[in-house]
Amino acid sequence: MSTYTFLLPIAIPVAAGILTLLVPARARLAVSLLAVVATAAQLASAIWIFPMDGALSVAWLGYGIEASFRLTRFSAFIVVAIAGFSFLVTLYSTASMSKAPSTKPFFAWMLITAGLACGAVLADNLVLLVVFLGALLLTQFGMIAAGARRPYAVAIKAVVIVGLSDMCLMLGIMMAAHLAGTLSMSAMKLSLDGMGGIAFLLMAIGALGKAGAMPFHSWIPDAAREAPLPFMAILPASIEKLLGIYLLARVSLDLFTLVPGSWVSLTLMVIGAVTIVLAVMMALVQKDYKRLLSYHAISQVGYMVLGIGTALPIGIVGGIFHMINHAMYKSTLFLSGGAVERQAGTTDLSKLGGLARSMPVTAVCFIVAAASISGVPPFNGFFSKEMVYDAALESGWVFYAAALLGSLLTAASFLKLGHAAFFGRRAEPASGGTVPAVREAPLPMLVPMIVLAGLCVLFGVVNRIPLDGLIGPAVGAAVTGGRSFAGFPASQMLVGFTAAALLLAILNHWYGARRTGHGLGAVDHIHHAIFLEPVYSVAEQGRLDPYFIGRWVIGGISAALYAVDRAIDWVYETLAVTVAQGISRVGRRLHNGSVNRYVLWSLAGAAAVVITAALVLGGSR
């Protein structure tokens, strides 16, 4: 084993991605094969290096900017997760993308993304980290653009939003580096007072932007509508969450020491709670499979941010646990959505129904993942949410209430989604005729779903594996204090409240479904409630989207500046020219060629000169 071994998870997929670009686009099989083999190799190398420790530093730009990498328990865990998701989603994509006009750019960008993401996790120098994140911004643009129908609008929106948060991260890094005198992540240890707090918040914004917390979320639902589905499963659902939360945890635990009750801790918790509630409210009323999931991808980040933001050991461990759990069940959900889209030809919930009979494997995987995200025991989401609840209640009942409300609405929306898609009866096509027969998805699409759903069960039932085997060592004894959080939640009261919330969700669904007569209408009474309907209608038009508000404001400023510019231009272009020519014309009219006039002027001038000389002299005497 050489010192470079632990860089294999970066090198293999990036090299394969570049190689893919060289393969002719028509050789689709070769492209798929290359992608699967490369991600399998990446996963193998990630598992191989998992028990190792590694550090490597190469002189690069000088001024403390070195190409330094570091393999720790934490980064090894994230690298394995990234490699695992890349492999599964790639496998899935070989089948799901089979109808796409071209797969080569998508796979190439995805491979490079997988490699760069590992690079960002392994980077130990903050500048190197920014370089990897910046490169990820480009590959993200490429992935969206490779498959979207109206690619550039969404791709640009994503780049602008994530780029903005990356910029905040850079500012934060500059401040932190100034305070700490180093750019090495492992050597940095700052306090949160004064400038440190601002540096922390800026870096946290960078992490939150990657993870897709509010207000850096609005490109995700748009991408869900436009981008190819594997993109959603790989980036917003898994890799970006892993990266963003990893970064947030590193910033909170290593670079700074987040103290419970501090103002930055409070800020993070507020962001988390607001993200949970607002995003789930939006998810609740969606009528499209993928769009509904995308709002949950935002909402769930809130739990992770809330958990880490409490700065309590159980919250931090719970937040990170929730991150890995979320990546699993959300990928499963997106993959099931992709299977439905491919087999049934639509993700519009009003046109779906009764798919459980024709797509039983997909349906089971969906149910496992949905139960997991809703926090039903004994699936993994239940355990991580309970840990976050515990920490939230200790920090303030408001945060707990928000988290619980989020849980309730999550459950309600997944009841609605499941009911509308997999149960009930499929709606007749509007054009008449019979409903086309739907078959189960092909094996390469089913295997990843089954594996991930299985992991959801495994990480829930035997939560010792992730908690004591992965996360405990990752955050270290300094955070956990040697405690183990494995096993069934300690607080019976919290479990009771969770059960009550789930029950309420079921009751609500029963009421709503009965009221409207179909599963899709189960939450209409919330959607069309007197005080919520106008808010929803404004939000659905995108008018609350920070991106569009920002564009509107910038457009206004731009128009105002343009008006000023035109005014200045008018002064130069019209006013100055008119005045100068006017003066010139007056002068020409005075010079009419009359010699009398010229003589008169001369004599008057001479008189003026003589008088001036005499008077000035008289004054000085």
Q: Which residues bind other proteins (CB under 8 A)?
A: 580-581, 583-585, 587-588, 591, 593, 595, 597-599, 601-606, 609-610, 612-614, 616-618, 620-621
Nearer to other proteins, 493 or 568 (CB): 568
Cα 73 from Cα 293, distance rounded (Å): 31
Q: Least Å distance between CB 112 and other proteins?
A: 51
Cα 494 from Cα 389, distance rounded (Å): 7
Q: Is 434 helix (H, G, I), strand (E, B) or coil?
A: coil
Nearer to other proteins, 3 or 594 (CB): 594
Side-chain half-sphere CA neighbours of 438 within 13 A: 25
Nearer to other proteins, 465 or 613 (CB): 613
- State which amino acid sits at residue 192: L
Cα 344 from Cα 413, distance rounded (Å): 21
Cα 336 from Cα 328, distance rounded (Å): 12
Q: Is 60 helix (H, G, I), strand (E, B) or coil?
A: strand
Q: Least Å distance between CB 575 and other proteins?
A: 14
Please state the length of the chain: 621
Cα 469 from Cα 413, distance rounded (Å): 33
Cα 523 from Cα 293, distance rounded (Å): 16
Nearer to other proteins, 439 or 621 (CB): 621
Nearer to other proteins, 553 or 608 (CB): 608
Q: Least Å distance between CB 580 and other proteins?
A: 6
Cβ neighbourhood burial of 138 (10 Å; 0-12, 13-18, 19+)? middle
Q: Least Å distance between CB 619 and other proteins?
A: 9
- Give yes or no for a contact between 78 and 470, defined as CB atoms under 8 angstroms apart: no
Residue in the block written with tokens 């993308």: 97
Q: Is 417 helix (H, G, I), strand (E, B) or coil?
A: helix
- Give yes or no for a contact between 74 and 475, defined as CB atoms under 8 angstroms apart: yes
Nearer to other proteins, 492 or 620 (CB): 620
Cα 182 from Cα 170, distance rounded (Å): 14
Q: How many CB atoms lie within 10 A of CB 527?
A: 18
Nearer to other proteins, 477 or 590 (CB): 590
Q: Least Å distance between CB 571 and other proteins?
A: 14
Q: Least Å distance between CB 581 and other proteins?
A: 6
Nearer to other proteins, 557 or 583 (CB): 583
Q: Least Å distance between CB 564 and other proteins?
A: 22
Q: Least Å distance between CB 168 and other proteins?
A: 44
Q: Distance from CA of residue 406 to its chain's centroid?
A: 19
Nearer to other proteins, 567 or 609 (CB): 609
Nearer to other proteins, 515 or 597 (CB): 597
Give the DSSP letter of residue 429.
P
Q: Least Å distance between CB 568 and other proteins?
A: 16
Nearer to other proteins, 430 or 586 (CB): 586
Q: Is 574 helix (H, G, I), strand (E, B) or coil?
A: helix
Give the DSSP letter of residue 349.
G
Find, among 23, 28, 9, 136, the residue nearest to 76 by Cα.
9
- Give yes or no for a contact between 313 and 253, defined as CB atoms under 8 angstroms apart: no
Output phi, psi for 71, to 5 deg: -105, 115
Q: Least Å distance between CB 572 and other proteins?
A: 11
